[in-house]
Amino acid sequence: MSHGSAPELGRRSVVVGAAALGAGLAVTGCSVAAPTASTAPAAGPLAPTAEVPVGGATIFPDQGVVVTQAEAGEFAAFSLACPHQGCNVAAVEGAEIICPCHGSRFGLDGGVLTGPATTGLSSVPVAVDGAELTLG
Ligand code: FES
């Protein structure tokens, strides 16, 4: 009946530090042909409205923006910088704007359709002056 020598001290919590800090490595592996400092859209004249298809979008890499036209005359502009890790969105398929780095997709309203991005593209002011689009 003397069975009471259970070693309660045997519990060692081996704290394995999260040594895999791979996130600290340079995450600039985007091989997108993007202009330097493209995340700062330039204000000024952009393009004729006709360059942006209704129900689609057009990427303007030199100005660092993507312009959408969800419905006729309804334009919106967004920074190319993907909110996931900062690559530039670089393609449009129908009504989806695509980031080549990890495959995030954004809708014509800039919102996330498919991650890993969890937030949408940053809006950029765009105005329509007759048949011309102007940023800023
Ligand atoms: S940087 Fe765009 S999906 Fe990762």
What would the pLDDT profile of 33-70 be if each residue is shown by its tens digit? Answer: 444 444 567 788 999 999 999 999 999 999 999 999 99
pLDDT digits (tens, 9 = 90+) for 12-36: 433 333 333 333 334 444 444 444 4
Q: Output the pLDDT for position 39.
A: 53
Q: How many Å lie between the centroid of ligand 1 and the Cα of residue 132?
A: 31
C-alpha 79 to ligand 1 mean position (Å): 13
What mean pLDDT do residues 92-110 have?
98
Separation CA 78–CA 111 (nearest Å): 10
- Take atom 3 of ligand 1 and give the residue whose Cα is closest: 102
Residue 89: pLDDT above 80?
yes
Q: Name residues contacting ligand 1 (CB within 6 A).
A: 82, 84-87, 99, 101-104, 116-117
Rounded average pLDDT over 78-96: 97
Residue 46 in contact with residue 116, Cβ under 8 Å? no
Amino acid residing at 86: G
Tokens at residue 18, please? 């999260």
All structural domains of the chain: 32-135 (2.102.10.10)
